[in-house]
Structure 1
Amino acid sequence: MPDNEWPDPRLPFPEPTPSRGRTSLAAAVVVLVLLAAGGLAWRLMSTDAGTPAAAPSAPPPASRQQTAPPCPDPKLRVAAAPEIAPVIQQAAATLSQAGQRCSEVAVQAVEPGAVLAGKPQPDVWVPSSSAWLAAARAQGRTWSTSGPSLAWSPLVIAGPETIARLFAPGDKTSWAVLAQSAADERVPAIRMPDPLLSTTGLLGVYAVRQAIARNTPDAGIATLQALTLRSRLENASADPADILAQLARSTDDTAASYEVGVFPATEQQLTAYQNGGHRVRLVGGPPADGLVDADYPYATRKGAPAELSKRLRAAITTTALTAAGFRSAATPGALTLPADPEALLGPARQWSAYRSVAFQVLLLIDGSGSMNEKITDRAGRSVTKATLLRESGATAARVFGKDTSLGMWYFGTSGPNGPAHVEEVSFGPLTGSTNGRTRREQLAAKISSYQPVAKAGTPLYQTVLDGVAAMRGQVKPDTASVVVVLTDGSDGGTRFAMSQADFLKRLQAGVDPARPVPVIAVGFGPGANLPALQNMAKVTGGRAIAATNPADLASGIAQAFVAAHSQS
């Protein structure tokens, strides 16, 4: 972008994309204003004293036409979040002297992410969150602020009144309820803005994660649950202003409910819509489990015209801001944003990079006698490895989404001629039924009744080789296929025993980059052979997890799922 051009107001951070919508409208308004001003100037300048102005259809000869000189570049360039820009534009207009055609202040409505990514930088920046100033400082760009923010507006969860009971039971909204409604597919549609472009998206993602983390202390599982909401979005880069404009044009409550659904916005945007008297009524409010404020700091760049900047700030009155629907003080109880901008931008990048994939999982569960050994878990309990596996497995069963296909084998031979493994749950869709029960129900029942076989050997290596080969035949596009091994990590005691070197050689020989099948290897207890598990995970591009707590397994699977959903 040339240094003398403004950034596109819809430009996402960090990579530019073509603009639409708001930019075109702004350009059209500018053109109309200039045409109107030019027409008025022509009429005035083409009228002799005492002589009526010529009719528009009969302009004067070319020799008598005059053109107003172009306006000089403005002395102060201002970029403001779109929802507050009209108030600042009105304040800037008061600084012009009577009869003055050219303004010294140019105000443009620009999303904060576009300002952060673009150039040139404006003289004054009014983003919709101080978090953007912190992000700019991290990039080496310094903005100075004096005094408190101009205004505040909490984020709300909004939607058509006809579906209020689905996302706002009891007239109260909640990020956790919205996430659960998305997972259960109870809400017809959910839309959110791009968190790398807009404040509503950035703070919304942060608030969702904070709300879920309160009830889910395990970070891996909490992240997966947050991304479950991301996976159910009808539109992951929706602009609240565009959504509200669409609703304002709609005359059908039912159609609007299914086309637009639920979305976050600022309270100011919701209030302005509600005051517009539109056919489709919107309801909503600040979420009880993640109240977060959009604030509007007035920031100046080093070298900006100081006096003019001060005059503009003074012209932006509290009365004008509150009349536009903003709050004059921070919302009590709002979340304190982290000082480190990466704590906001990191999850935002993960959210933005998310891609929808289905999962295919083959569970390989160790049924050998060594799983009856006792261990002490992280809570200080004396339990068997089998007990830990039952508890971990029950947690993990809830992690698998509805779009998962799953199968389960037990491995552990009780006799010299026994098979290396036995199928307990046939491979197929988790929601599919066999023998009158869904696979999810079968999985939960099998794990809850799991009992290792005393004195049974452990054909770990052979089972992993067979499992990876079986899943390689299931690989298909836009699907993550993984093998999850639950064991104490020791191979031996059967006719299938082999050295680790031979196992790894055979495992490596079967690796096909076009059909990847990573192994997630979970070792139970302090005696687990983690080096062996780490090696098989490394060869296949998976990961190894030491499980000494029931949450460890679910957390490890969740982290693996998150990695699979992230674009490379």
Structure 2
Amino acid sequence: MSGHDDVPDWAPRNLSDTGGHDNPYTFLGASDPGGAREPQPGTPHPGTPRHGTPRTESGEPFDAFKRPDRAPRPPGPAHAAAKPPRRRLSLGGHRPPRRVGGILLGPLAGAVGLVLLTGLGAYAVAAAAGGCSGDDAVTIGVDAAPDVAPAVVRAARRLNDAGHKAEGKCVRAEVRSTDPAAVATLLSGKGVAGVTQKPDVWIPDSSLWPKLAGGSGQAGAAGAFTQFGGIASSPIVVAMPSGLATQLRNLGAPAQPSWKELLAAAGTASNAEEDPAGGDGVIPARLLRLQVPDPNRTATGMGSLMLASALLGRAAGGEAQFAGVVRTIREGTAASVKAEFTPFGQPATDRYPVALAPEQAVYAYNARRPATAAVAVYPAEGTVYLDHPVTVLSKDPGKVAAGRLLKKALSDRAARGDLQRLGFRTPGGTAPAAFSARTGLDPRPPKALPATPAAQVRSTMQSWAQLSLSIRMLSIIDVSGSMDEKIAPDVTRLQATVRTAQGGLSLLPDDSELGQWVFSTELEGSQDWREMVSVGPLGERLGSATRRQRMLSAFAQIRVKEHGDTGLYDTVMAAFDYMKRTYKPEYVNSILLWTDGRNEDPGGPSLAETLDHIRREYDPERPVLINMFGNGEDVDVNELRQIAQLTRGDAYVADTPGQVQALFLRALSQRVSP
């Protein structure tokens, strides 16, 4: 590292951001934080059809890897004109690295020839061998993930020029750079998201996409695919600013901390006396702010969920811990991999930013010479790899054979070299020569977690869809006389309940909707309940304070009603009817009731009448979930559970205040199926 900034010594300092002829823009993949740019003169427009070869202003075919010619130099001194012309640097040559401005341009500089294809959705059609067209050709349309598209274009051009044949016809491949999520949406039968034509061959960034799209169950969904394996790999790593990595080392953190410790430090479960996701390492709790790209749009985000599911699914309390991780991911969701790195260059506020990102994205980010370099951390348990599989969607035997030939072309030495220059490992894990401690990357391949079965991929994404919905909840606290009994020195049941409710409040983001009732008997005339705060967004202002602040103030004002009984059934029915009447489909609509006993309202409805009412009024199209927390020896858990389970909720008993955090997470993890 230099003594003046965090830019690694290996990063070339002469890369231009202009994309001009003298310094063409270096394409470093879809996860390149530089993102897609507006098409430059001479590049194809995103609407260019497959069969039209993009051309430059001069009429020459666009070559994604060719360095544009410089403008002729004006006449100079005779001795300069006599110098032999400088040789161009070939991607496949063995010219030794050179220095520019004191910076060594080694293996990374080989990527300088990989210019931007014109962004997502742009067509990059590989040149076809002469005469290979029409009925005399097997033509395959190839949709490739933008991060590998430049190398796929090169391999397709070599394939076309080689004159290979399939089913007695010459083979012609036409490649376009396409967002995998758009293709997956089309194949799943769920609609159109920018792609209207199914490709013959699909090279997404992860096998998770075909697994998700192939079994959606939607009408029009694609069936089984023919897969020929991956062409490049990139593990999901924890990317962090280099300064933070140094601080963690100084704290004594291991080079490979556990996922559990990292998630705990990212605030998976805050304010917990018994943190179900907490670690026992040296990284302070809530030190980190986790950034994850949208799991609905990116394989990295989807892979992060598979990773959490694999590590937590079989552990005790894994369901609740997974719910906590989902909440952390939801609160830290970034629009793209590019956006994950934006906070790295900004002053730290309350917590330090870290990102779950492909290793290749770290390589790409550092290649752009940021003010703050990134370091990849490889957790001890292993990780999920993005594998870029060649997937044939066509059933035509000729196109299947052509897809196999393309896979072979993408596996040869030239293609492997192109992919490594983009920052990818080989399918077997071999790293590019540029990977080293100086570049923030470890050349040793991290352990790969087992591949996730297709059914589990779909199940996990369904859980994400449910758990990532915002909460709309009515909290109801028992204030009957028995709540004044002490359960610990100087702590009553009501005080313990309020403290745990406050802890639950801290877990909910501002876009959650919450309201607060209390209940006993005859709190307002003959009515057993009273509204303290109306249901609405926690961040909404109610006069001079937000609803969250109003909730905290209401908690402080709750008092026991002396000699009050427990009007449980009346209150449950009233709350259920209210939440159903005000139902909002974009939320999980739920009731959370806290009590220390059973129904004690002789003039109110019976258990049978209550169950009959909820059974009759429950609407699966407008589901309202009831969860109940009991506290005390008088709680009839069976009674509470009968009510809750009619709505697919449940009842829980907390013996100590410290248990409520885990139970609250468990309650949040039990969502209504879509």
Shorter-chain TM band: 0.5 to 0.7
Number of the residue aligned with 1:334: 447
For 1:298-309, list aligned pairs within 5 A. 298-300=390-392, 303=397, 304-305=400-401, 308-309=405-406
The answer (yes or no) to whether the contact 1:392–1:549 under 8 Å persists in 2 is no
- The structural deviation recorded for 1:345 is 3.0
Aligned partners of 1:337 and 1:474: how far apart in 2? 45
- The structural deviation recorded for 1:459 is 3.5
Matched, 1:180 2:267: yes
Matched, 1:484 2:599: no
Distance 1:341 1:324, change over 3 A: same
Number of the residue aligned with 1:90: 154
Of 175-184 and 322-331, the range deviating more from structure 2: 175-184
Tell me the alpha carbon deviations over residues 69-124 of structure 1, each in whole angstroms, 9 at most, x when there is no partner.
Answer: 99546634433332122222222323344999x98222333344444444666554
Aligned partners of 2:143 and 2:659: how far apart in 1? 47
Number of the residue aligned with 2:279: none
Aligned partners of 1:349 and 1:169: how far apart in 2? 38
- The structural deviation recorded for 1:351 is 3.2
Aligned partners of 1:530 and 1:325: how far apart in 2? 57
- The structural deviation recorded for 1:217 is 2.9
Number of the residue aligned with 2:106: none
For 1:9-408, list aligned pairs within 5 A. 27=47, 34-36=54-56, 39=59, 71-72=133-134, 75-97=139-161, 104-118=172-186, 122=199, 124-135=201-212, 138=215, 140-145=223-228, 149-158=230-239, 165=244, 170=248, 176=263, 179-180=266-267, 192-208=292-308, 217-233=317-333, 235=335, 238=336, 240=337, 243=339, 253-254=345-346, 263-277=355-369, 279-286=370-377, 288=379, 291-300=383-392, 303=397, 304-305=400-401, 308-309=405-406, 310-314=408-412, 317-328=415-426, 329-330=428-429, 332-352=445-465, 357=470, 359-365=472-478, 397-400=502-505, 401=508, 403=510, 405=514, 407=516
Distance 1:553 1:20, change over 3 A: farther
Number of the residue aligned with 2:66: none
Aligned partners of 1:516 and 1:131: how far apart in 2? 31
Aligned partners of 2:651 and 2:574: how far apart in 1? 21
Tell me the alpha carbon deviations over residues 354-408 of structure 1, each in whole angstroms, 9 at most, x when there is no partner.
Answer: 6664544323337576999x9xxxxxxxx9xx99999898666533325464646
Tell me the alpha carbon deviations over residues 519-566 of structure 1, each in whole angstroms, 9 at most, x when there is no partner.
Answer: 423467999656643564477x463325487798656654654567x8
The answer (yes or no) to whether the contact 1:113–1:198 under 8 Å persists in 2 is yes
- The structural deviation recorded for 1:230 is 0.4
Aligned partners of 1:477 and 1:40: how far apart in 2? 55
Of 545, 556, 565 in structure 1, the residue corresponding to residue 651 of structure 2 is 545
The answer (yes or no) to whether the contact 1:462–1:496 under 8 Å persists in 2 is no
- The structural deviation recorded for 1:263 is 4.5
Percent identity for Structure 1 against Structure 2:
21
Aligned partners of 1:217 and 1:444: how far apart in 2? 31
Matched, 1:461 2:576: no
Distance 1:188 1:558, change over 3 A: closer
Of 510, 516, 521 in structure 1, the residue corresponding to residue 628 of structure 2 is 521
Distance 1:420 1:178, change over 3 A: same
- The structural deviation recorded for 1:200 is 1.3
Number of the residue aligned with 1:54: none
- The structural deviation recorded for 1:176 is 1.1
Q: What TM-score do the two structures reach when normalised by structure 1?
A: 0.61
Aligned partners of 1:501 and 1:476: how far apart in 2? 28
Distance 1:127 1:510, change over 3 A: closer
Of 628, 640, 653 in structure 2, the residue corresponding to residue 533 of structure 1 is 640
The answer (yes or no) to whether the contact 1:126–1:297 under 8 Å persists in 2 is yes
What SS does structure 2 have at the residue aligned with 1:94? Answer: helix
Number of the residue aligned with 1:377: none
Tell me the alpha carbon deviations over residues 198-251 of structure 1, each in whole angstroms, 9 at most, x when there is no partner.
Answer: 32121122234556779983513531442243044353xx2x36x49x97xx9x
Of 212-221 and 281-290, the range deviating more from structure 2: 212-221
Aligned partners of 2:484 and 2:348: how far apart in 1? 56
- The structural deviation recorded for 1:293 is 1.8
Of 604, 607, 615 in structure 2, the residue corresponding to residue 500 of structure 1 is 607
The answer (yes or no) to whether the contact 1:433–1:439 under 8 Å persists in 2 is no
- Is the helix fraction higher in 1 or 2? 1
AA partner of residue 267 (structure 2) = Q
Of 208-217 and 420-429, the range deviating more from structure 2: 420-429
The answer (yes or no) to whether the contact 1:291–1:334 under 8 Å persists in 2 is yes
Aligned partners of 1:34 and 1:476: how far apart in 2? 49
Of 298-307 and 318-327, the range deviating more from structure 2: 298-307
Distance 1:117 1:547, change over 3 A: same
Distance 1:389 1:145, change over 3 A: farther
The answer (yes or no) to whether the contact 2:521–2:528 under 8 Å persists in 1 is yes
Number of the residue aligned with 1:55: none
Distance 1:257 1:263, change over 3 A: farther
Which segments of 5 or more consecutive residues in structure 2 lack a partner in the other structure? 1-28, 31-35, 62-129, 165-169, 188-196, 216-221, 250-254, 272-284, 430-443
Of 223-232 and 455-464, the range deviating more from structure 2: 455-464
Distance 1:326 1:193, change over 3 A: same
Aligned partners of 2:576 and 2:214: how far apart in 1? 48
- The structural deviation recorded for 1:462 is 3.9
- The structural deviation recorded for 1:283 is 1.2
Tell me the alpha carbon deviations over residues 420-459 of structure 1, each in whole angstroms, 9 at most, x when there is no partner.
Answer: 979899889989999xx9966996999xxx9999x98543
CA-atom RMSD in angstroms: 6.1
Q: What TM-score do the two structures reach when normalised by structure 2?
A: 0.53
Tell me the alpha carbon deviations over residues 7-38 of structure 1, each in whole angstroms, 9 at most, x when there is no partner.
Answer: xx99xxxxxxxx99899855569899544499
Which segments of 5 or more consecutive residues in structure 1 lack a partner in the other structure? 1-8, 11-18, 42-67, 375-382
Aligned partners of 1:359 and 1:549: how far apart in 2? 27
The answer (yes or no) to whether the contact 2:312–2:321 under 8 Å persists in 1 is no
Distance 1:187 1:456, change over 3 A: closer
Aligned partners of 1:361 and 1:207: how far apart in 2? 33
The answer (yes or no) to whether the contact 1:152–1:327 under 8 Å persists in 2 is yes
Distance 1:140 1:552, change over 3 A: farther
Aligned partners of 1:394 and 1:142: how far apart in 2? 54
AA partner of residue 141 (structure 1) = A
Tell me the alpha carbon deviations over residues 314-335 of structure 1, each in whole angstroms, 9 at most, x when there is no partner.
Answer: 3554333333221233465535
The answer (yes or no) to whether the contact 2:306–2:457 under 8 Å persists in 1 is yes
Aligned partners of 2:581 and 2:181: how far apart in 1? 44
